[in-house]
């Protein structure tokens, strides 16, 4: 496994590309867990033994809307590198911020439709930062395929739109959310939960499953399904606040009042200062 920390080291390493070999990128912000490993395994399967799997470890400052969140974001470089080596990553790209962004950088990629709701609405500028850094990583690594998790569903849809609209020759693969035994979606932020919060946070998944069951039993009213979820989450005795809770079309992320097409329920919930996101698809 090759570890690269600067763009100048990366360029010659990837300059010559043998066309039969598939190159797959797994963009991450580090502090790897089983969810990230699922992305790596999918990348390895696509690349096959002869292909190249590249994983980026970069806590992107431009996608954080709160300095405190950036400051407390978990970092575990040595552990991450050990996991990458164990699970078949060929190249780890772990740059410093100054090597990705010039001190006077002034160009940003902006998505103006899909990013207006959910995390985009509650975290101004977040997806500008996401799109900008992902496009940079695409340009630097020139992959055939890039792997993203479905837990960040809005991010996945926006990246697919960016690839489509900017004619980027990359296939975007989405991987199902990996969960803890209690159903809580794996996240680097779970480390910041207290034991009591961690146990209680399983109610997010339970609430989403309750809405899915109601839908399977014939409920088509978005408001009714969202009320089911809200009631379960807000019954917590802890300091819990719903940041957003919406039922949207899976493709264009527009709100749906009566279900008649594939949709998704997405939510973000605060446990104290820790923000957790999750979703469930309704087909």
Q: Is the dihedral of CA 140, 165, 146, 66 positive or negative?
A: positive
pLDDT at 16: 66
Q: Greatest CA separation found in the chain?
A: 58
0.75 surpassed by pTM:
yes
Query: Rounded CA gap, 155 and 136, in Å?
Result: 16
Residue 211, judged by CB atoms within 10 A of its CB (0-12, 13-18, 19+), counts as buried
Burial pattern 157-173, b for ≥16 Cβ within 10 A else e, equals bbbbbbbeeeebebebb
pLDDT at 141: 96
The tens digit of pLDDT for each residue in 253-278 reads 999 999 999 999 999 999 999 999 99
Residue 92 bridge partners (DSSP): 3, 55
pLDDT at 65: 82
Q: Where are the domains of the chain?
A: 2-175, 188-277
Cβ atoms of 185 and 149 closer than 8 Å: no
Residues of the chain with pLDDT under 70: 16-19
Under DSSP, is residue 152 helix (H, G, I), strand (E, B) or coil?
helix
What number of helices (H) and strands (E) belong to the chain? Answer: 11, 9
Please identify every residue annotated as catalytic.
36
pLDDT at 19: 61
Query: Rounded CA gap, 22 and 258, in Å?
Result: 42
pLDDT at 17: 61
Query: Rounded CA gap, 182 and 207, in Å?
Result: 13
Q: Indicate left, alpha or beta for 170 from its phi (over 0: left) and psi (-120 to 50: alpha).
A: beta
CA 66 from chain center: how many Å? Answer: 18
Question: 188-277 has which fold?
Answer: 3.30.1300
The rounded mean pLDDT for the chain is 95
Q: State in words which class domain 2-175 has.
A: alpha beta
């Amino acid at each position: 496994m090759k570890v690269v920390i600067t763009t100048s080291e990366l360029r010659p390493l990837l300059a010559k590309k043998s066309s039969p070999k598939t190159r797959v990128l797994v963009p991450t912000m580090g502090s790897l867990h089983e969810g990230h490993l699922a992305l790596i395994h999918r990348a390895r399967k696509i690349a096959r033994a002869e292909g190249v799997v590249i994983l980026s470890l970069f806590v992107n400052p431009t996608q954080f809307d709160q300095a405190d969140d950036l400051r407390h974001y978990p970092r575990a470089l040595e552990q991450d590198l050990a996991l990458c080596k164990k699970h078949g990553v060929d190249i780890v790209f772990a740059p410093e911020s100054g090597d990705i962004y010039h001190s006077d950088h002034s160009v940003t990629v902006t998505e103006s439709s899909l990013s207006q709701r959910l995390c985009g609405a509650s975290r101004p500028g977040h997806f500008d930062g996401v799109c900008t850094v992902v496009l940079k990583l695409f340009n630097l690594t020139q992959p055939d395929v890039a792997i993203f998790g479905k837990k960040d569903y809005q991010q996945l849809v926006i990246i697919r739109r960016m690839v489509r609209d900017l004619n980027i020759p990359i296939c975007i693969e989405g991987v199902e959310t990996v969960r803890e035994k209690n159903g809580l979606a794996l996240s680097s932020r779970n480390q910041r939960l207290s034991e009591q919060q961690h146990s209680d946070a399983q109610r997010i998944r339970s609430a989403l499953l309750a809405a899915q069951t109601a839908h399977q039993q014939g409920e088509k009213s978005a408001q009714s399904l969202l009320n089911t979820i809200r009631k379960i989450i807000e019954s917590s005795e802890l300091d819990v606040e719903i940041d957003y809770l919406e039922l949207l079309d899976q493709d264009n992320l527009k709100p749906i009042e009566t279900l008649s097409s594939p949709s998704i329920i997405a939510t973000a919930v605060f446990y104290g200062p820790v923000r957790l996101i999750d979703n469930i698809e309704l087909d």
